[in-house]
Each structure stands twice: as structure tokens, then as C-alpha cells.
């Protein structure tokens, strides 16, 4: 499984790189604070929303601590997607947060 740190994600965003971040937390968790520009797909709905994603686009999975996003990464990898897990999740995020 490919992994990326929260700091690496933050630095890429600061440099203006366009990233496709998928936040797999629940609605109330995302409402309490999320990385700007995320795609929100709760983990329980991921299998149903796979057709909305582009296999040619790399994705970075995000959750609170990195556990659910790790599971999401495994699911999408198994379906042929280019996907990385943001290690440590939002607990490790020090960048901008939207509410």
C-alpha cells in the first residue's frame, strides 16, 4: 500500500499541486473540520461510489487517524485505482481546515 504523510500532502497543496483527496469519515466528522477541496465519500458508501471515480486519476485517502483510509485504500487498490493512504489522518494534519 502506498502511503503519504500529512505534511507531504500539505506541502503539495501549498505549492499549488492539484490533489484528489477523498475523505472517508462520516458527515459529522467532516463538518467538524476538513482539508479544503476534499471529495467526501463515507467509507460505508465507497463501494457504491466507485463508478464516480476516475481510474486515471491518483487519489489520496483521508480519515481521522489513518485506519479507515487504509481500508479504503485497500478497496480501491483492489479495483485497479492509483491510491495512497494519508498516514495519521486528520490527527496529523497541520494545514488549513474548512468547516
Out of 41, 60, 63, 90, which one is annotated catalytic? 63
Residue 54 annotated as catalytic: no
Q: How far apart are CA 32 and CA 38, in angstroms?
A: 14
Those residues whose C-beta lies under 8 Å from the C-beta of residue 97, and which sit 6 or more positions away, are 33, 34, 35, 36
Write the DSSP symbol of residue 64: S
Instruction: List residues with catalytic annotation.
Output: 63
Amino acid at each position: 500500500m502506498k502511503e503519504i504523510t500529512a505534511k507531504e500532502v500539505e506541502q503539495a497543496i501549498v505549492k499549488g499541486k492539484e490533489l484528489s483527496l477523498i475523505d472517508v469519515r462520516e458527515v459529522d466528522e467532516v463538518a467538524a473540520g476538513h482539508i479544503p477541496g476534499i471529495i467526501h465519500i463515507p467509507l460505508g458508501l465507497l463501494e457504491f461510489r466507485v463508478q464516480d471515480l476516475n481510474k486515471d486519476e491518483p487519489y489520496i485517502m483521508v480519515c481521522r487517524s489513518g485506519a479507515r483510509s487504509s481500508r479504503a485504500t485497500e478497496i480501491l487498490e483492489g479495483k485497479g485505482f492509483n491510491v495512497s493512504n494519508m498516514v495519521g489522518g486528520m490527527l496529523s494534519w497541520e494545514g488549513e481546515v474548512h468547516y
